[in-house]
């Protein structure tokens, strides 16, 4: 198996296993699906944290309005009485006016937050250090865990305009958001290795040979953005270790120089003949004219 370390810019994303016989046009959709799936899990986790704190999202035409403005415009949230969390709500006002403030109680909140942590850990970038490959099955498992937790807390479901429900139903609208800049569609996705683009229509072995026991660093990039920056010759951690080794070596050399210093031999106390000359009256003898 060939192991690919997929990076976006300088940041490691996940490990992916494949073979040298695999065509590039098959590898790209698989990597793109995992990459975008991890982004979806992160977006849902962020929204669930808001759901746990402040309840469901109010309708778009009510978001950001004050209570006085809502009364004045005679607006009403028809989903407020339908989407009640299990165990009853606890009021926690949303200062930005995006959610209705009827949050789940502490027990239900704990269910949501614990599931968020588990889902994040499943597709975390730390899996790279643990040498664990993230698969599409793991992404789906994380999504299923989050969906199950939301159903436990909100058995009647969420409003159709709530971003969590829209994410689960693949109806999310990311236009105009920072999240839209992170998503890479299959058509615009490019894979780069060693400053070379891996073109569709070729196999991995056309670039790396037939050695299956290979680990590559590949970078995922949007079409039209050009070649990504090359990988540094040494990593930050390797550079730190090199600097630490150099510092320790300098300290060792400094101690050796101090140990080999023989300037003390010129001192009076180190002269073995000093006592003899003192008895013979040969001390403090000066040569030269008076």
* Domain spans of the chain, in order of start: 2-222, 236-279
| Residue 200 contacts residue 194 (beta carbons within 8 Å) | no
Backbone angles phi, psi at 197, to 5 degrees: -80, 135
The tokens of 27 are what? 């590898």
pLDDT at 102: 94
Q: Which residue has the tokens 């993230």?
A: 134
pLDDT at 237: 76
Torsion angle, alpha carbons of 138, 139, 143, 146, to 10: 60
Length of the chain: 290
pLDDT at 240: 83
H or E element that contains 27: helix 24-54
pTM over 0.85: no
What HEC string does 210-274 produce? Answer: CCCCCEEEEEEEECCCCCCCCCCCCCHHHHHHHHHHHHHHHHHHHHHHHHCCCHHHHCHHHCCCH
pLDDT at 225: 79
pLDDT at 266: 61
pLDDT at 289: 60
The tokens of 98 are what? 């995006």
Determine the Cα–Cα distance for residues 77 and 102; give it in Å rounded to an integer.
12
Helix (H, G, I), strand (E, B) or coil at 290: coil
User: Could you list the pLDDT tens digit for every one of the 290 residues in the chain?
Assistant: 899 999 998 899 999 999 999 999 999 999 999 999 999 999 999 999 999 999 999 999 998 888 888 888 889 888 988 999 999 999 999 999 899 999 999 999 999 999 999 999 999 999 999 999 999 999 999 999 999 999 999 999 999 999 999 999 999 989 888 999 999 999 999 999 988 999 999 999 999 988 888 899 999 999 887 777 776 656 677 778 888 888 888 888 787 777 665 555 566 655 666 666 666 666 666 655 65
């Amino acid at each position: 198996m060939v192991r690919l370390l997929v990076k976006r810019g300088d940041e490691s994303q996940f490990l992916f296993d494949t073979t040298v016989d695999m065509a590039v046009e098959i590898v790209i959709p698989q990597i793109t699906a995992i990459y975008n799936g991890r982004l979806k899990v992160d977006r849902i986790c962020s929204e669930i944290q808001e759901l746990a704190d402040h309840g469901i999202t109010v309708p778009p035409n009510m978001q950001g309005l004050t209570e006085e403005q809502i009364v004045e415009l005679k607006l009403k949230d028809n989903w407020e009485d339908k989407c009640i969390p299990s165990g009853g709500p606890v009021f926690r006002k949303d200062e930005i006016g995006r959610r209705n403030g009827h949050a789940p109680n502490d027990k239900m909140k704990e269910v949501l937050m614990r599931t968020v942590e588990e889902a994040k850990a499943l597709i975390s970038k730390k899996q790279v250090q643990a040498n664990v490959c993230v698969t599409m099955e793991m992404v789906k498992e994380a999504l299923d865990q989050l969906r199950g937790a939301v159903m436990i807390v909100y058995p009647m479901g969420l409003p159709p305009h709530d971003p969590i429900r829209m994410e689960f139903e693949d109806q999310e609208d990311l236009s105009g958001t920072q999240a839209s800049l992170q998503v890479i569609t299959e058509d615009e996705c490019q894979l780069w290795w060693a400053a070379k683009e891996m073109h569709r229509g070729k196999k991995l072995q056309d670039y790396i040979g037939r050695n299956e026991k290979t680990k590559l660093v590949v970078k995922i990039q949007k079409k039209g953005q050009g070649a990504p920056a090359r990988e540094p010759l040494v990593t930050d951690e390797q550079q730190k270790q090199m600097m630490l080794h150099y510092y320790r070596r300098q300290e060792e050399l400094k101690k050796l120089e101090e140990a080999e210093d023989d300037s003390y031999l010129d001192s009076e106390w180190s002269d073995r003949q000093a006592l003899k000359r003192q008895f013979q009256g040969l001390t403090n003898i000066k040569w030269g004219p008076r």
